[in-house]
Amino acid sequence: MGALPTNTVIAVIGAGTMGAGIAQVAAKAGHSVLLYDAVAGAAQQGIERTAAGLQKLVQRNKISSADCEALLSRMQPCDAIEDLAPAKLVIEAIVERLEVKQQLFSQLENICSADTIFASNTSSISITAIGAALSRPQHLLGMHFFNPAPVMKLVEVISGVATDAGIAQQLFDTAAAWGKKPVLARSTPGFIVNRVARPFYAEALRVLEEGGADVATIDAIVRESGGFRMGPFELMDLIGHDVNYAVTNSVFDAYFQDPRFKPSLLQQELVNAGYLGRKSGRGFYHYGDTAEQSAS
Ligand code: NAI
């Protein structure tokens, strides 16, 4: 079937940490992209954040200002979900909750044409379970980008039980055409990366809770001795604690509450406090205009 042609209109729903970046990736590949968020003004703000990020690349001569302008001209904020009707691929990057995602895709089945492909950027929720609420579950897949979406190459293309194999291959080819390194996976809890990564976060949180070492020390060891780009606490702050905690809960429940995946009370308290990481200005570290500093 091959990749979706570049004249295919793409919609991205959710203009938070991931959605705006995914929209940028599709627009860079030449697609017209419609960006919608339930919060009024959020799509416009997402595009403004993208514009600010691209401006920095222009200043560093990484892209030309003409390419930057052309890319931005292909990103359009939408005020109403009905405006997404022309899209042939809709990528959802909203809150990590099964019933909210089911409700969104059900609504979209009545707005978009019957051949529209629906993709969820979910980190952990069963594609089979999301699809169970739809009348065309064969058109639903996972298209799981990594943070930050414009930089990270990997994309997991995930099939649920009912997903059409040809559409999965088409999405795989599309991700490759967008300059990504896609991988095909079946819908298992946490898929590949988030399953493998659970102990990376959980064990670091346990060391901290047991008083073994502080946040900065654990991060430094993992970075400097382990060779990771980021330590576990830096990475959780980048992902967002609300999202990371929701993913752990989802994997924990999906594996019948296997204690290996038990969520952390410490992380739950961060979520309760609204210390969500970079996006709220504070998580394990403080973020501001000045240099970052450890909060622990
Ligand atoms: P976020 O909290 O930064 O942004 C979510 C956006 O969705 C918000 O702007 C919110 O207003 C909007 N939204 C919520 N419910 C909505 C609805 N019903 N309709 C339309 N818009 C709605 O979340 P983030 O981090 O971008 O995560 C989004 C999805 O991507 C989640 O499923 C998450 O698991 C997944 N993901 C997150 C990664 C990360 O590092 N943060 C990495 C890969 C996947």
- Report the largest interatomic distance among the alpha carbons of the chain, rounded to a whole angstrom: 55
289 pLDDT band, cuts 50/70/90, is: low
Q: Catalytic residues, which ones?
A: 123, 144, 156, 194
Q: What is the pLDDT of residues 233-266, one digit of tens each?
A: 999 999 999 999 999 999 999 999 999 999 999 9
202 lines ligand 1 (CB under 6 A): no
237 lines ligand 1 (CB under 6 A): no
Residue 6 makes CB contacts below 8 A (sequence gap 6+) with: 29, 30, 31
Domains of the chain (ranges, CATH numbers)? 10-186 (3.40.50.720), 194-286 (1.10.1040.50)
| Phi (first) and psi of residue 207, to 5 degrees | -60, -45
Determine the pLDDT at residue 262.
96
Compute the distance between CA of residue 124 and CA of residue 96 in angstroms, rounded to an integer: 8
Compute the distance between CA of residue 130 and CA of residue 158 in angstroms, rounded to an integer: 12
Determine the pLDDT at residue 296.
38
Q: What is the ipTM of this complex?
A: 0.99
Determine the pLDDT at residue 288.
84
What global pTM score does this model have?
A: 0.94
Q: What is the mean pLDDT of residues 43-69?
A: 97
17 lines ligand 1 (CB under 6 A): yes
User: Nearest to residue 81, comparing CAs of 114, 112, 115?
Assistant: 112
Residue 290, judged by CB atoms within 10 A of its CB (0-12, 13-18, 19+), counts as exposed
Compute the distance between CA of residue 189 and CA of residue 256 in angstroms, rounded to an integer: 11
Q: What is the pLDDT of residues 77-93, one digit of tens each?
A: 999 999 999 999 999 99
**C-alpha radius of gyration, the chain, whole number:** 19
What is the Å distance from ligand 1's center to 99 Cα? 14
Strand partners, 36: 13, 78
What tokens appear for 64 in the block?
């030309």
Compute the distance between CA of residue 54 and CA of residue 72 in angstroms, rounded to an integer: 9
Average model confidence (pLDDT) for the chain?
96
Which residue minimizes the CA distance to atom 39 of ligand 1? 239
295 pLDDT band, cuts 50/70/90, is: very low
Q: What is the mean pLDDT of residues 157-163?
A: 98
Which residue minimizes the CA distance to atom 43 of ligand 1? 146
Determine the pLDDT at residue 293.
46
What is the Å distance from ligand 1's center to 242 Cα? 10
What is the Å distance from ligand 1's center to 2 Cα? 28
Q: What is the mean pLDDT of residues 62-79?
A: 97
Contacts of the segment 62-67: beta carbons below 8 A, 24+ positions apart:
none
